Amino acid sequence: MTVTQQAPPQTEKASPGGFITGFIKEALELIVVTLILLIGIRWGIAEARYIPSSSMEPTLQINDRLIVEKISGHLGKPIQRGDILVFYPPKEEMGGEDLSNNPLNVMGRLTGLPCFPNDPAFIKRVIGLPGDQIRVQANQGVYINQQLLDESAYIKEPPRYSLNFMGDIRG
């Protein structure tokens, strides 16, 4: 019986430049894949939000956290009275500054990462639909097409102001 002995396989020693290059390549791939997944999920499926003010009390409390579902909007589900929407305010609410095309703000909206500017979003309930006539009567409530809207389930108290025309809205 003849025994042959094999030499151990030769291993190539990685040069220091090869290790660093490989590490950078792996890190970049990880960052790119993570950003693609983050943007895809945040744009197409859901987005985390928190409530910064009392404007939606008692339904939503200050510092409540919620997940905003986005699939319905992409599928063309019509908006209905009572739905709660999240949207970015018009430039008039932002002091006249239009942030929609600023690359840093776009990345902030797409990723939600804290290293980018975080545009404030409004979270509001839909009360009027296209074609509705809306009137707010002080100490009574909101009238839609001359009918008082029952808001008892989601407001603290009737409004203390009246709005009869779009010109009455300030802001």
Active site residue 152: no
Instruction: Look up residue 1 and give its two tokens.
Output: 């019986």
Catalytic residue (choose from 55, 72, 100, 162): 55
Catalytic residue (choose from 25, 77, 91, 124): 124
Choose among 133, 158, 137, 159: nearest CA to 146.
Answer: 133
Instruction: Look up residue 87 and give its two tokens.
Output: 């949207």
Q: Which residues contact 62 (CB under 8 A, 6 or more apart)?
A: 51, 52, 53, 54
Question: Could you report how far apart the first and last alpha carbons of the chain are, in Å?
Answer: 97
Active site residue 55: yes
Name the region of 146 (left: φ>0; alpha: ψ -120 to 50; beta: rest). Answer: left
Whole-number CA gyration radius for the chain: 27
Give the whole-angstrom CA distance, residue 137 versus residue 167.
15
For the annotated catalytic residues, the residue numbers are 55, 124
